[in-house]
């Protein structure tokens, strides 16, 4: 009986000592979290899309609170009003950025870019692009298997049944860049929404020489440089046989559209009218 009692008291005493040690250690090393983190997180959209470059809204809230300068920290999903509230709460200057929207830089539909074979592997763009060049003669074109659709948490992109190309729903797109990151061909880009949602961009990513690109797709950019010569604002650059329109310099004058012999340049949300350079 004495043995049992002694054992019980010993174990109980050891447990009490260990509990006290754990308590004092936890008190010494505990981290007191800034209560503003919770307040900032409540003002964020809870999308956890990663568009800010951080793993979730909580991490973004912590960064906002701990950073002295938040002028370069942007949540593409949050509204300007909400970001202004966060800046006011923290007593800091909010980031100012123009709204952007995703655009798909490929127009290689079956009509423009005929298929020469059929893919029968796993139905993901990542695997398909890793295994072979694609179902057409353009190895730079869209695989059409919808990885971008699966990545979008806002139902802002879908696959067109006729063209088998992704279509972005501008009203739903929050420019989180999830589709941009997941596309293995790097065909999706975030561009400024533009005045009255008007945008002009080269809808092609084919870097092959003109003759090869032109044979693969009827609307492929052939690197002829006519748009470059026409642009008076130095908004167009030629690199790797491909034209690119810098949306920061583009004045949306549409003159490049009129001189492109391949219809590779897309103009969105413009009214029907005669070309400016006619």
Q: What is the pLDDT of residues 208-222, one digit of tens each?
A: 999 999 999 999 999
Same fold, 36-90 and 100-268: no
Residue 107 pLDDT greater than 90, yes or no: yes
Written in H, E and C, the secondary structure of the chain is: CHHHHHHHHHHHHHHHHHHHHHHHHHHHHCCCCCCHHHHHHHCCCCCCCCCCCCCCHHHHHHHHHHCCCCCCCCCCCCCHHHHHHHHHHHCCCCCCCCCEEEEECCCCCCCCCCECCCCCCCCCHHHHHHHCCCCECCCCCCCCCCHHHHHCCCCCEEECCCCCCEEECCCCCCCCCHHHHHCCCCCEEEEECCHHHCEEEECCCCCCCHHHHHHHCCCCCCCCCHHHHHCCCCCEEEECCEEEECCCCCCCCCHHHHHCCCCCEEEECCCCCCCCCC
Above 60 in pLDDT, residue 278? no
Q: What is the pLDDT averaged over residues 53-75?
A: 88
Please report the pLDDT score of residue 171 as a whole number.
93
The CATH number given to 100-268 is 3.30.70.20
Tell me: pLDDT of 99 over 50: yes
Q: What pLDDT score was predicted for residue 55?
A: 85
Which among 221, 203, 224, 225 has a CA at the least distance from the CA of 213? Answer: 221
* Position 77 confidence tier, pLDDT thresholds 50, 70, 90: confident
The predicted structure's pLDDT at residue 245: 97
Mean of pLDDT values over 192-216: 95
Domain boundaries, the chain: 36-90, 100-268
pLDDT at position 277:
44
Give the pTM.
0.78
Rounded mean pLDDT of the chain? Answer: 89
Query: Above 50 in pLDDT, residue 135?
Result: yes
pLDDT at site 46: 85
CATH homologous superfamily of 36-90: Electron transport complex subunit B, putative Fe-S cluster (1.10.15.40)
Is 80 exceeded by the pLDDT of residue 4?
no
Band the pLDDT of 1: cuts 50, 70, 90. low
- Compute CA 255 distance to the chain's CA centroid, rounded to the nearest angstrom: 29
- For the segment 22-26, the average pLDDT, to the nearest whole number, is 79
- In the chain, the percentage of residues whose pLDDT exceeds 90 is 57
Calpha distance 173→155 (Å, rounded) = 8
Average pLDDT of the residues in 69-95: 85
What is the Cα–Cα distance from 265 to 159, expressed in whole angstroms? 21
Residue 76: which residues within 8 A CB-CB, separation 6 or more?
51, 52, 100, 174, 175, 176, 177
pLDDT for residue 31: 64
- Is residue 248's pLDDT more than 60? yes
């Amino acid at each position: 009986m004495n043995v049992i009692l002694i054992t019980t008291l010993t174990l109980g005493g050891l447990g009490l000592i260990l509990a006290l040690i754990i308590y004092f250690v936890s008190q010494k090393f505990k981290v007191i979290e800034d209560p503003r983190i919770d307040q900032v997180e409540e003002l964020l959209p809870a999308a956890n899309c990663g568009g800010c470059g951080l793993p979730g809204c909580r991490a973004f809230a912590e960064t906002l609170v701990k950073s002295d300068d938040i002028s370069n920290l942007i949540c593409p999903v949050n509204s300007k009003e909400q970001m202004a509230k966060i800046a006011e709460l923290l007593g800091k200057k909010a980031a100012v950025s123009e709204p952007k929207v995703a655009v798909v830089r490929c127009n290689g539909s079956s009509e423009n870019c005929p298929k020469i074979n059929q893919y029968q592997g796993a139905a993901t763009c990542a695997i398909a692009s890793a295994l072979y060049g694609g179902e057409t003669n353009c190895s730079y074109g869209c695989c059409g298997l919808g990885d971008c659709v699966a990545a979008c948490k806002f139902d802002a992109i879908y696959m067109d049944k006729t063209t088998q190309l992704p279509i972005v729903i501008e009203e739903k797109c929050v420019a989180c860049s999830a589709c941009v990151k997941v596309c293995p061909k790097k065909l999706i880009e975030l561009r400024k929404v533009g005045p009255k949602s008007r945008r002009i961009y080269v809808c092609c990513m084919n870097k092959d020489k003109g003759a090869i690109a032109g044979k693969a797709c009827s609307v492929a950019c052939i690197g002829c440089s006519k748009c470059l010569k026409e642009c008076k604002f130095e908004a167009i650059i030629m690199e790797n046989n491909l034209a690119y329109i810098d949306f920061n310099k583009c004045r949306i004058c549409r003159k490049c559209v009129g001189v492109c012999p391949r219809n590779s340049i897309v103009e969105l949300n413009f009214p029907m009218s005669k070309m400016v350079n006619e």
